[in-house]
Amino acid sequence: MNRFLIIPHVKIHNANALSSPYTIGFPAMTAWLGGAHALQRKLCAGQFNGLAFTRAAVACHSIDLQTYKGRGDYVHSIVGTGNPLDKNGERPSFIEEARCHLSVSLVLEYEGVDQDDADAFLAAVETQLSTLKLAGGDILEFKKPELLKVNGADDLAKLTRKLMPSHVLKERRDLMIEAMQNQGGDIDAVTALLDYLTVRHRSESGEDGQTEWTAKRKKNERKKTGWIVPIATGFHGISALGSAENQRDPDTPHRFAESLVTLGEFVMPYRIKRLDELLWHSHYDAENHFYLIQQHSKEKYHGK
Amino acid sequence: MLDPAIENFLSERKAARIKKNLKPGISDQERRAIELEATEFFRLDNWLPDAAKRAGWLSMLSHPGKFTHPSAKTSAIIAEARPKPDGFLRTGNADTDLDVLGNAAALDVHKFLSLTLTDGQTVLAHLEQTSAAIQTQFELSTLPFSELQQGLLAIKQSSDTAKTSEKIKQVYFPVGDGYHLLSILTPSGLMFKLKEAINVLRFSDEAKQAREDRRHQVHNEQGFAELYNLSVIGFGGTKPQNISVLNNQNGGTAYLLPSLPPQLETRAIQPPKTGFFSDSLYYKHYQDSFKALHRLLMVNHNTIDIRDGRDYWISSIAEQIIEKVWQFRQLPPGWSDATNLPLAQKIWLDAAYNEQRENQDAWLDEIIRAIADWFYIAYEKTVGKDKAVFLGDVELAHIRTVLGAMQEDLR
Amino acid sequence: MANNLKVTVLAFEKKLVPSDGRLYGTSWERRNEAAAPLKLQEKSVRGTISNRLKKDLQNDPMKLDAEVEKPNLQTVDSCALGSDQDTLKLAFTLKVLSGIEIPSACNNAEFYASYKDAAQNYIDSEGFSELAKRYATNIANGRFLWRNRVGAERIEVAVTVRNEGEQQTWIFDAKSVGTRDFNHDHADIAQLAAKIADALAGKTEFLLLEINAYAQIGLAQDVYPSEELVLDKGNSKSKKSKILYHIDGVAGMHSQKIGNALRTIDTWYPEPEGGAIGPIAIEVYGAVTNLGKAYRTPKEKADFYSLFDRFARGEKLSGKNDEHYVMAVLVRGGVFGESGKD
């Protein structure tokens, strides 16, 4: 049996939409799990010191990306916020920040809370969440949190129906792995990624000499694919663990890292049939220096 | 013989220096002096030792902090990671260029080190390997090769102490009972590699020709690929050179791929008055799916692929209905009170019946039967009565089975 | 300054968290009963192309192409009340948070301890009453209406506490509350201020306010939502010269703009040449964007960094006003480590 805390319809304002240096839109999974962890720490510091949020899912009801596209423009431009002026009264040079407003329901799998404390737990969640930020944005409001037990597949539908209508992310790293394996030796992740995101326009000459153009997305014959997007699911350590000047906390081992991006699929929750297609958890892969937020266990990818 | 690439590099700069110094109306003598000075300046014996001195003003790196904030100063990291088919876009899984930061007065040194020699390798690669070829090329009267090499390679030396910045996002990641603190940097080479790949899709001659052919409905063997809904992000505003060399080369912009869910239908919807199937489902919206189903029904043989295909289209039509149902469930509870909907449909559609919907099953059986009946009619309507394959009891029973398997989705 | 108190990473989360404001049209008489969302009008034919794709577009890439290749037109956005509406309604929420004594990031334990003492002293002696009074005044006077405030016949601001289990509402006649200074003893503002002060000082966990402002500006008059700052990368020849902000189709005021109005409480900056210009927004260099001028410069040691260095290390500042200013910058939030000065 799995126990869940559901926080419905959290409205977040100015969340960080720059999920990686290559993607814009739904905030990175690392940001959501980071938020869950921050909430856990706050609750642990209070009455619920045994609490652990073990896995999490985020159902996206609506998202409003702050970009703009003029008529006839091919690309979207980022809508900025005015930065304060510097000491000379001039606008400092800056890097554009991408923002979005969104409404999500959070699903947090938990353990370590006595069922007799359920009411106190929910009250504490409400108070603590009001003072937190999530995915870099401000929490404006949310509906009453609730607890739910899930026991088996039929019960799972009870959970997923509570999230409807919305979209949740499924990890589709399998598609990208396969694409990279098919490249035979010369691995090029850029091509593997773009392959699933482009629309291919092809033409065929019929018998009557007529040419017909068609437009298709890449489909994977054996693996069903739906709404495929690039997603940021973790970090890749690029320097040795150690300490660095100006680190925000001198007592924690530090290293430099970059975003890890792979493929994901947005589906409506009712289509989820297994808990591990819904829930994400964090995992440190020391061998590859990967700090991952993932759905599937390591075994799935390495055949152990 | 000096490698032609090096030869050209020096002579182009020499010509530019002469042009810059020549003022109109100067004497021949002055002109000769200017030319002589430039020739001396760009003699390898003179220029190279000077370049070796200046190389240390630059640093090559893979992950500049300035892409996060223009005043973030971080260690010059050169990340090394092996390629693996691990499903990640990351350093190591694509061929990328290193970026360069530092004093603009030394950028020519970087250009020099990036020159590709006749054997296809760069000057920098030769220096790193201490190749015989480069030792011959760089045999100077003014400076021993080893000192020259050391000076030039200073461009790749990072400082001994690691340095991050409060302007950089520093993320705690749980590891065991504790944490690691990660300073998140931008792999600018990889980011611009993506830009290059997208620009090939957008602007290459082949892609342009193929688009042109499509416009005129002419056959094109290759076709083309299109990416929609790209965004563009800028670094450094009107001064991209303040961020990095690669940024400057790319005009200070990079592409961002969209990572968004599909838009949920939010338009105001009319709730049904007498019946969901008659009032709320428009055959037109299901036409494509029914036609696809029809094509499979027309096939005479009955392989597993054909059967799977039919089931796929039946469930995809059901999924379209499910999404519609959820729109009505968003309406204020009790909206169905003012309608003549059958009770089963009220339970199905109106949020006021949430509890009954979860806890009872009789209404659901009724709904599934009703959907199967609607299937029968909708199929005939969309495909045309004369063309439609007759759906007998066996077929209808199968449709009910497929829908039955989706019972919890439909609930 | 002792080197062991050097702090290179220091950040504070903002403690006043406004939502975006939504603009509605209504009539003064019926303002409490009904209000219709105001839409942006584009002086041309069609609405903007969405950055979101409908599912059917994704499935039918041919249509996508047509979408991208739509023709160009020169346009501007505008927004106005309907012909039967004489009153603008602006609605937003404001969250006030506690915890000012705890930075969200700080990498020097000694500095942390010394700052915490200084902040606690301020809380104990001042209880945030002066800052809260000023924030409350800027709610009551409707400063957040910005240009919509100008020329309004009547302005009313209704403030309701939305914390669970609380029900308290104040109605302010905004025009009777000044925007030039904060020297008043308005009883209702004092009540609202006390609520805000309690949250900032940590006596309550947080405060959630709902704010509805009504400005009677005349039938069918233009109103002014926020203007978008588009960092345009498009290549289209015809540019839209003015892009206004909307939230799901409802004309909107940016939360940043509302926040800026609420923290326009700094009257403590050094007297500039030509005299003071009234309250300015709390900023580290006292910068006023539309004037392109900074009123608190490091040269005069009146900027935030100069004052905060001393304050956080337990030094006495020359007056209460400097302390108010320092704390108000912390309420605003930001990244303030040593390297942030330049």
pLDDT digits (tens, 9 = 90+) for A190-207: 999 999 999 999 998 877
CB contact under 8 A, A85 and C289: yes
Q: Which residues of A touch C17 (CB under 8 A)?
A: 138, 140
pLDDT band at C339 (very low <50, low <70, confident <90, very high): low
Mark yes or no for CB contact A245/B162 under 8 Å.
Answer: yes
Whether A247 contacts C107, CB under 8 Å: yes
Residue B198 lies in a domain: yes
Per DSSP, C257 falls in state: H
Return mean pLDDT, chain C: 88
Any C CB within 8 A of B266 CB: yes
Interface of B with A in 327-356 (CB under 8 A): 327, 329-330
CA distance B350 to B330: 8
Mean pLDDT of B75-88: 94
SS3 C338: helix
> Which of A257-266, C36-45, C283-292 has the least mean pLDDT?
C36-45
- CA within 13 Å, CB half, A292: 21
Percentage of chain B surpassing pLDDT 90? 71
User: What's the confidence (pLDDT) of residue A278?
Assistant: 96
Q: Does residue B333 sit within a domain?
A: yes
Assess whether B249 and B331 both reside in one domain: no
Q: ipTM for the complex?
A: 0.94
User: What pLDDT is stored for residue C240 in this prediction?
Assistant: 74
Residues B353 and B298 in one domain: yes
**Are B234 and B301 members of one domain?**
no
Residues of chain B above pLDDT 70, percent: 99
Residue A22: closest CA among A194, A237, A216, A200: A194
Instruction: Please give the Cα distance from C67 to B275 (Å, whole number).
Output: 35
For C238-258, write each residue's pLDDT tens digit: 567 788 999 989 999 999 999
pLDDT in tens, B26-36: 888 999 999 99
pLDDT above 90 for B39? yes
| pLDDT at B396 (0 to 100) | 86
Q: What's the pLDDT at C74?
A: 58
| Confidence at B43, pLDDT banded by 50, 70, 90 | very high
Of chain A residues 101-160, which have a CB less than 8 A from chain B?
A: 154, 157-158
Query: Is the pLDDT assigned to residue A31 strictly greater than 50?
Result: yes
The answer as to whether B52 is a domain residue is: no
Contact yes or no for A131 and C99 at CB 8 A: yes
Sequence-separated contacts (24+) of B297-302 with Cβ below 8 Å:
B297/B389, B298/B389
- Determine the pLDDT at residue B109: 94
Instruction: Establish if B372 touches chain A: CB-CB under 8 angstroms.
Output: no
Contact B226 A198 (CB under 8 A): yes
> For the packed helices B44-54 and B4-21, what is the interaxial angle rounded to 10 degrees?
90
Whether residue C341 lies within 8 A of chain B, CB to CB, comes out as no
C50, pLDDT greater than 60: no
- A96-110, B11-25, C149-163: which range is least confident on average? B11-25
Instruction: Give residue C53's pLDDT band: very low, low, confident or very high (50, 70, 90).
Output: low
Residue B13 lies inside a defined structural domain of this protein: no
pLDDT band at C54 (very low <50, low <70, confident <90, very high): low
What is the predicted pLDDT for the residue at B117? 94
Q: Tell whether B250 and B281 lie within a shared domain.
A: no
Given a contact as 3+ CB pairs under 8 Å, which chains touch B? Answer: A, C
**How high is the pLDDT of residue C109?**
92
Record the tokens describing residue C20, joined without a space. 């975006």
Q: Which of A28-42, B383-397, C203-217 has the lowest mean pLDDT?
A: B383-397
Q: Are the Cβ atoms of B226 and C340 closer than 8 angstroms? A: no
B232 falls within a domain: yes
Q: Are B22 and B35 in contact (CB under 8 A)?
A: no
Query: How far lies B143's CA from each of A19, B150, B181, in Å?
Result: 50, 11, 45
Mean pLDDT calculated for residue range A246-269: 96
Among C68, C233, C335, select the one facing B166 at the smallest CB separation: C335
Q: Identify whether residues B319 and B395 lie together within a single domain.
A: yes
Question: Mean of the pLDDT values across residues C94-98?
Answer: 97
Query: Based on the domain organization, do B287 and B359 belong to the same domain?
Result: yes
In whole angstroms, give the CA distance from residue A33 to residue A40: 10
* B397 and B282 together in one domain: yes
**Which residue on chain C is closest to B235 by alpha carbon?**
C231
Nearest Cα of chain A lies from the Cα of B133 at a distance, in angstroms, of: 29
Contact C53 B263 (CB under 8 A): yes
Residue finishing a domain among B208, B224, B256:
B256
Confidence label for C230 from pLDDT (cuts 50, 70 and 90): confident
Q: What is the pLDDT of residue C59?
A: 56
The 10s digit of each residue's pLDDT in C262-304 is 999 999 999 888 888 899 999 999 988 888 888 998 888 999 9
Closest CA to A4 of A158, A127, A130: A158
Q: Quote the pTM value.
A: 0.89
Task: Report if residue B285 sits inside a domain.
Answer: yes
Residue B395: exposure state from Cβ atoms within 10 A (0-12, 13-18, ≥19)? middle
**How many Cα neighbours within 13 Å face the side chain of B120?**
0
What residue numbers bound the domain in which B320 lies?
Answer: 276-410
Taking the CA of residue B331 and the nearest CA in chain A, the distance in Å comes to 12
Q: Nearest-CA residue of chain B relative to A229?
A: B259
The answer to whether B182 contacts chain A (CB < 8 Å) is yes
Exposed/middle/buried for B353, CB within 10 Å: 0-12, 13-18, 19+?
buried
3-state secondary structure of A16: strand
The residue-averaged pLDDT of B181-197 equals 98
Q: How many CB atoms lie within 10 A of CB B285?
A: 14
Residue C49's pLDDT band, with cuts at 50, 70 and 90, is very low
Instruction: For residue C296, give the DSSP letter.
Output: S
**What digits encode the pLDDT tens for the residues B98-147?**
999 988 889 999 999 999 999 999 999 999 999 999 999 999 989 999 99
Nearest to B220 among A203, A232, A245 (CB): A203
Same domain, B248 and B359: no
Please check whether residues B301 and B373 belong to one and the same domain.
yes
Determine, yes or no, domain membership for B221: yes
**Cis peptide leading into residue B49 (ω within 30°):** no
Q: Is the pLDDT of residue A302 over 50?
A: no
Average pLDDT, chain B: 92
Give B403 to chain A, closest Cα distance, Å: 14
d(CA C131, CA C115): 19
Tell me the nearest-neighbour CA distance from A57 into chain B, angstroms: 15
Strand partners for B170: B183
Which of B226, B262, B266 is opposite residue C58, by nearest beta carbon? B262
Amino acid at site A58: V
Q: What is the dihedral of CA B185, B187, B188, B191, to 10 degrees?
A: -120
Among B197, B224, B256, identify where a domain stops: B256
Q: Check C52 against B263: CB less than 8 A apart.
A: yes
pLDDT above 50: residue B272: yes
Size of interface A-B (CB pairs under 8 A): 319
Q: From C199, which residue of chain A is nearest by alpha-carbon distance? A: A131
- φ/ψ of residue B357, rounded to 5: -60, -40
The pLDDT assigned to B264 comes to 79
- Has residue B97 been placed in a domain? no
Q: Does A44 touch chain B (CB under 8 A)?
A: no
Let me know whether B251 and B215 are in one domain. yes
Contacts of A166 (CB under 8 A, 6+ apart): A59, A60, A61, A104, A105, A268, A269, B264
All structural domains of chain A, each given as residue ranges with its CATH number in brackets, are 2-66+97-170 (3.30.70), 173-264+285-294 (no CATH)
Residue to substitute from B66, B163, B263, B324, interface C, most C β-carbons within 10 A: B263
Please judge whether B179 and A198 are an interchain contact, meaning their C-beta atoms are less than 8 angstroms apart: no
Reported as a pLDDT band with limits 50, 70 and 90, residue B201 is very high
Query: How many structural domains does chain B have?
Result: 2
- Residue B234 shares a structural domain with residue B316: no
pLDDT of residue A111: 96
Q: How confident is the model at residue C1 (pLDDT cuts 50, 70, 90)?
A: very low
Q: d(Cα A283, Cα C146) in Å, to the nearest integer?
A: 49
Which whole number is the average pLDDT over B140-168? 89
> Within this chain, do residues B242 and B329 fall inside the same structural domain, yes or no?
no
pLDDT beyond 90 at A301: no
B212-240 mean pLDDT: 92
Neighbours of chain A (3+ CB pairs under 8 A): B, C
Mean pLDDT of C9-36: 96
Give the per-residue pLDDT at B263: 85
Token pair belonging to A152: 């088996």
Nearest CA in chain B to C9: B166
Measured between alpha carbons, how far is A276 from C141 in angstroms, rounded to an integer? 53
pLDDT at A304: 33
Locate C295 and state its tokens. 């009123």
Tokens 């509870």 sit on residue: B333
pLDDT tens digit sequence for C147-178 = 999 989 999 999 999 998 898 999 999 999 98
Sign for the pseudo-dihedral over CA of C143, C148, C149, C155: negative
Inter-chain touch C58–B166, beta carbons under 8 Å: no
pLDDT above 50: residue C128: yes
Chain A, window 182-211: residues with a beta carbon less than 8 angstroms from a chain C beta carbon: 199, 201
State the distance between the two ends of chain C, measured CA to CA, in whole angstroms: 18
pLDDT digits (tens, 9 = 90+) for C168-206: 999 999 999 989 989 999 999 999 999 999 999 999 999
Residues A63/A25, Cβ–Cβ less than 8 Å? yes
State phi, psi for B157 to the nearest 5 degrees: -85, 130
Model confidence at B155: pLDDT above 50: yes
- Specify the pLDDT at position B123: 95
Report the residue of chain C nearest B225, measured CA to CA.
C61
pLDDT at C72: 47
Give yes or no for B404 touching C (CB within 8 A).
no
pLDDT at residue A209, as a whole number: 76
Using CB atoms, pick whichever of B89, B172, B409 lies closest to residue A261.
B89
Residue B305 burial (10 A CB sphere; 0-12, 13-18, 19+): exposed
Per-residue confidence band for C65, with pLDDT thresholds at 50, 70 and 90:
low
B374 touches chain A (CB under 8 A): no
Vertex C278 angle, CA C275 and C282, to 5°:
115
Residue C45: predicted pLDDT = 44
Q: Which two tokens stand for residue B333?
A: 């509870």
In the stretch 178-217 of chain A, residues with CB closer than 8 A to chain B read 180-181, 183, 187-191, 193-194, 197-205, 211, 213, 215
